[in-house]
A = this chain, B = another copy of it.
Amino acid sequence: MAAKRSGAQSKRSQRTGASLQSVQEPRSEPALSLERIVATAVELLDAEGVDGLKMRRLADRLGSGAMSLYWHVDNKEEVFDLALDSVLEYRGPPKMVEPRDWRAEVVHMLEDWRASMLRHPWSASLLPRRALGPNILSRLELLSNTLSGAGVADADLNVTIWSLWNYVMGATITRASFDLSDDDRAAAQQRLTRLSEHYPTIGTLSSAVG
């Protein structure tokens, strides 16, 4: 996903005095691009969570000045939206199955969707609060078309789609937030067991959420 086309001018090479902390950025950075910004934002979100994404930190990782981002992007919210949608891209079902089985196709897309969100735990809790990007809209469109082709009446499409949406979100969002960070997870676990004295039955609840 990282752009690698042209070599960068590395205008800041003259700045390197002692190059103490330049271990993080080994070579001259490629030019800034929306693609690279989004990919790096996803990395940062994976590593540090939603609160870890700061414009300056993102710029640092990209080896650029903090303000350079604002030429490619309007504001931080747009970074969130782009990172979120980029993670939800759907490449379609495996080519193996040619006999178009609508049920298998729906299940595959939904399971892939859930897997994508679990791979990037911040995305699940972000998704309901942000506008729907093109990739998630594509998934909904595919779902809609497949169900429609399978014979679901137009009048029922709405409820069907939102039911599936709700099902996947419900089966994912709690599970994903358990994976948010090891610290939180450990703390939550500890808190649960500590409170098990006051809430006897609940104390035995494992974290097998999904």
* A contact residues vs B (CB 8 Å cutoff): 125, 128-129, 131-132, 134, 137-138, 140-141, 144-145, 148, 157-159, 161-162, 165-171, 173-174, 176-177, 180, 187-188, 191-192, 195, 198-202, 204-206, 208-210
Contact = CB atoms under 8 A, between A and B. Distances in A.
Of residues A129, A159, A167, A188, which shows the largest number of chain B Cβ atoms within 10 Å of its Cβ? A129
Copies of this chain present in the complex amount to 2
28 contacts: A125-B125, A125-B128, A128-B173, A128-B174, A128-B176, A128-B177, A129-B180, A131-B191, A137-B195, A137-B198, A137-B199, A137-B202, A138-B199, A141-B200, A144-B202, A144-B205, A145-B201, A158-B204, A158-B206, A162-B205, A162-B209, A165-B209, A166-B170, A166-B210, A169-B173, A169-B174, A170-B170, A173-B173
A188 B132 CA distance: 8
A137 B148 CA distance: 42
Given A157-B201, A162-B209, A162-B210, 6 more contacts: A132-B191, A134-B195, A140-B205, A141-B200, A166-B170, A169-B170
A140 B199 contact: yes
B208 A158 contact: yes
Contacts of A201: 141, 144-145, 148, 157
Contacts of A134: 195, 198
